[in-house]
Structure 1
């Protein structure tokens, strides 16, 4: 099978960073499923893994998969051959920039019925991250309009995670303040359902207060954590909650939040599979719920750009685009027609 390799530490614009390899199609065992990859996507985690991998190492990246099951391990009961599934990759398996991929059946779910290959492929990482941040880390109730009267500030509303966080927050009744920086990203956040859009290049505190809002009940910071640390301390409600996914530039003073008794937690979508936690099956259950929300029209895919074909050039283009810091929504790569 064809796989696209990335050289550790390689600059995306260099032609020697990505290469092809013909690998052996693996055989699933136990709880594993073997999936023919129909479409994949790219996330910030892919570029970070590439840059943090030793230069002597080549890896198959890709953490989003939409595909069809072609074989199952002897312990798999939830799926059968021919089922179309989507899932997030697991560190112990090569990624989805390949024609075939292994996965743990407990982490997968049936693909949304109304989604195209590309629309479904961009969902797993960003939608699971947003769902887990809102309903596990921040503690909101995951039911329609169940949190009416509460306000959330989503810093970085136009990226993949922000796009889904806005939609999920609106589904459960939250008032959403999103940040963006350009006209097109402001329009995108509004299209996703944000009640208010402010610029993260300006003073967040002044802009939120200008809306007549003194404090917000929660904050979900998806980008530029260090730059907004002080503003978050000012804006969070006493005893409020904050979820973070972006790596800080350096040490941060957590004492700023002491007098607010604020709860601060990290959201890392791959924690359950990385450590094979006792609740690892929640990954599959959550993706099942997300598929239901897609099929019922409550939320929609953040797909904005599509590339066609599993090629070195397409994977390179996707990495360059991801690292441009101008991406709105998400991009997909169609692998099998």
Structure 2
């Protein structure tokens, strides 16, 4: 089968060997696996981070978002059957989705929304899981809850922010404040439902005070958390909560003590990495997201469609993400 791979981590994306086409054997499903024929994928920051750091025996396949058709199922599979259209974000400790065929555990897979084409659906799984777990599992916000409370999302214009805004607006009563620094991302954040949009390149506290929204109950930080940490402490209400997804070089939470603030770190791969007892929750939440899309409650967060799944198009996508200029999700479709 065709796959887009790399051998040497850390190469600049312009290097011919940073990503290249390669033939690999078609895999066979394990007991709870689906063998999926991949139709569309999305590119995420985790793709670029793994390419920069992970080495292994043989070619490495990136990719943690896919839409496809189930072609074979393992002996213990009960949730899907051949022919089903599915979407999912995969597992970080298994080969990725930059390949014609891919194995994935059924417990982290959902049925693709009927109302979306393959590329539009591919934008949703990883960010939907991350956003859902941030809001409902890590921060403990209740659906239809949050009356009188405020959520600040730092870096709201990216992939996770784009779906998080919608979930917070449609499924809770929180007042949602999103940050973005460029006119195009500010417009995107407003379009996706933020009650208020502020600029994280200026004083966050001052802007919240001008809006009469300081302090806030929750902060979800999606980028450069260490750079904003002092401001986060400043604007959080005593006993408030911070959730983050990025990888700060340093994260000194000693200043959190005075306000009894709590910190919650989200990694959507935790359940699959540790085969947790509640691993099937990712299947359940993807099924819920699929239904919400089909009901018109939330929409896809595609930013740009880069064409077919080739090494050159993936390099282009990696370059945009590494440059911090992505708006929404970058998707590719077809081998």
Per the TM superposition, whether the score is higher than 0.5 is yes
Q: Which moved more, 1:309-318 or 1:81-90?
A: 309-318
- State the secondary structure of the residue aligned to 1:80: coil
Q: Give 1:56 shift.
A: 8.2
- State the secondary structure of the residue aligned to 1:218: strand
- State the secondary structure of the residue aligned to 2:258: helix
Q: Counterparts of 1:1-337 in structure 2 under 5 Å?
A: 1-6=1-6, 7-54=8-55, 58-142=59-143, 145-171=144-170, 172-250=172-250, 252-335=251-334
CA distance in 1, matches of 2:96, 2:294: 27
Query: CA offsets per residue over residues 27-78 of structure 1, 9 Å max, x none?
Result: 1121011000010011111100111124986410000011000000011111
CA distance in 2, matches of 1:56, 1:31: 25
- State the secondary structure of the residue aligned to 1:219: strand
Query: CA offsets per residue over residues 280-313 of structure 1, 9 Å max, x none?
Result: 1111111111111111111111102112222111
Number of residue pairs aligned between Structure 1 and Structure 2: 333
Query: CA offsets per residue over residues 248-295 of structure 1, 9 Å max, x none?
Result: 132x32121112111111010100111111111111111111111111
- State the secondary structure of the residue aligned to 1:170: helix
CA distance in 1, matches of 2:18, 2:39: 24
Q: Give 1:148 shift.
A: 2.7
- State the secondary structure of the residue aligned to 2:28: coil
CA distance in 1, matches of 2:307, 2:190: 29
The CA RMSD measured in Å over matched residues stands at 1.3
- State the secondary structure of the residue aligned to 1:259: coil
Rate the CA distance shift 1:242–1:26 in 2: closer, same or farther, 3 A: same
Query: CA offsets per residue over residues 199-252 of structure 1, 9 Å max, x none?
Result: 1111111111111122101000000101100001011111111101011132x3
Contact 1:8 1:55 in 2 (8 A): no
Query: CA offsets per residue over residues 113-164 of structure 1, 9 Å max, x none?
Result: 111101110101111101100000011113xx43232110000010000111
Q: Which moved more, 1:205-214 or 1:223-232?
A: 205-214
Runs of 4+ in 1 over 4 A off after TM superposition: none
Gaps of 5+ in 2: none
Q: Give 1:103 shift.
A: 0.4
CA distance in 2, matches of 1:43, 1:299: 20
CA distance in 1, matches of 2:333, 2:141: 35
Contact 1:304 1:328 in 2 (8 A): yes
Contact 1:60 1:94 in 2 (8 A): yes
Q: Which moved more, 1:310-319 or 1:42-51?
A: 310-319
Q: Give 1:10 shift.
A: 1.4
Question: Structure 2 length as normaliser, TM-score?
Answer: 0.96
Question: Structure 1 length as normaliser, TM-score?
Answer: 0.96
CA distance in 2, matches of 1:192, 1:271: 28
Q: Which moved more, 1:98-107 or 1:51-60?
A: 51-60
Contact 1:8 1:57 in 2 (8 A): no
